[in-house]
Amino acid sequence: MAQTSHQKVPSVYLYIPNVIGYIRIIMNFVAFSVCYSRKWIFVILYFLSFFLDGLDGWFARKFNQVSTFGAVLDMVTDRVSTACLLTILSQLYRPGLVFLSLLALDIASHWLQMYSSFLSGKTSHKDVKDKSNWLLKAYYGHRPFMAFCCVGSEVLYIILYFIADKESESLLEVCLIALKQNSLLSFLFSLTLLGWGIKQVINIIQMKSAADACVLYDMKRSK
C-alpha cells in the first residue's frame, strides 16, 4: 500500500539528537547547581554532557534527523556550558580576566561563524570548503582533529576546576606546578594544553574569516 500524506512524521522537537540535547541541558543545570559543593558530581555530569555532545551528531546522521533547530540547540548548549565553566574559573584563579577573555572569544567566534554561514546560504556552520585557511579546513574537515582540540580544551578547564584548592589562586603558578609534576596528571595537562592552544588559534581565525564573510555580503548587497 502506498504511503500517504497522513503518515506520521516525528516532530523536529522530538528528534533523537534534540532529545539528547534536552538531557544535556538538564545534566548541566544539575552540575552547575552543585559546582561549589560537590566537585566530583560536577565533573562527572559535565563530562557526560560533553560526551553526549559527540553522540547527537552521530544519531542525527544515522537516523537522518539533521535539523537547523538541532544545530542551534547543540551550539547554544555548548557555548552556555563552556561560558558558565569559564565564569567559575574566573572566580577561582587570578587574573580572572584570562577566562573572561576566553569566554568572549569563544562566543564571538562561534556566533559570527553561525551568522555568516546563514548569510552565505549554508546549511551548517561547519561548511568551510570556501575558506582559504588550511587550519580552519583541517579543523572542520577532520573529525579526529576537531575532537582532539575540543576535548583538550574542555578537559583542561575541568582539570583546572578540579585542582583549584582555594579562590584567587595564581593561574600561572598552578599551571607550572601541574606541568612539572612527574605524573599522569602532568602528561594529561600537557596534552590538553596543546589541544586548547590550537583551538584558541582556530577561534581567532574563524572569527576573522566569518567577519570577512559578513563584510563581503554587505559589499555584494550594496552593488
pLDDT for residue 8: 59
Tens-place pLDDT, residues 177-197: 888 887 888 999 999 999 999
Considering the candidates 56, 78, 106, 127, report the single residue annotated as catalytic: 78
% pLDDT > 70, the chain = 94
Here the cell at position 126 is 561547519
CA 187, CA 190: separation in Å to the nearest integer? 5
Domain of residue 100: give its range. Answer: 12-222
* Residues 160, 163, 164, 170, CA torsion sign: negative
CB 92 within 8 A of CB 167: yes
pLDDT of 1 over the 90 cut: no
CA 12, CA 18: separation in Å to the nearest integer? 8
Residue 150 lies in a domain: yes
Establish whether 78 is a catalytic residue: yes
What mean pLDDT is reported for the chain?
A: 90
First CA to last CA distance, the chain: 54
The total domain count for the chain is: 1
Give the angle subtended at the CA of 157 by the CAs of 156 and 161, to the nearest 5°.
115
Tens-place pLDDT, residues 135-189: 999 999 998 999 999 999 999 999 999 999 876 789 999 999 888 887 888 999 9
User: Lowest-confidence range among 78-82, 181-185, 205-209?
Assistant: 181-185
The conformation of residue 169, written as its DSSP 8-state character, comes to E
Q: What is the mean pLDDT of residues 69-96?
A: 94
Res. 4 pLDDT band, cuts 50 70 90: very low
CB 51 within 8 A of CB 57: no
% pLDDT > 90, the chain = 65
What CATH number is attached to the domain comprising 160? 1.20.120
Here the cell at position 150 is 575540543
Collapsed DSSP state (helix, strand, coil) of residue 93 = strand
CA 1, CA 111: separation in Å to the nearest integer? 47
Residue 1 lies in a domain: no
Residue 7 lies in a domain: no
pLDDT for residue 105: 96
Residue 3 lies in a domain: no
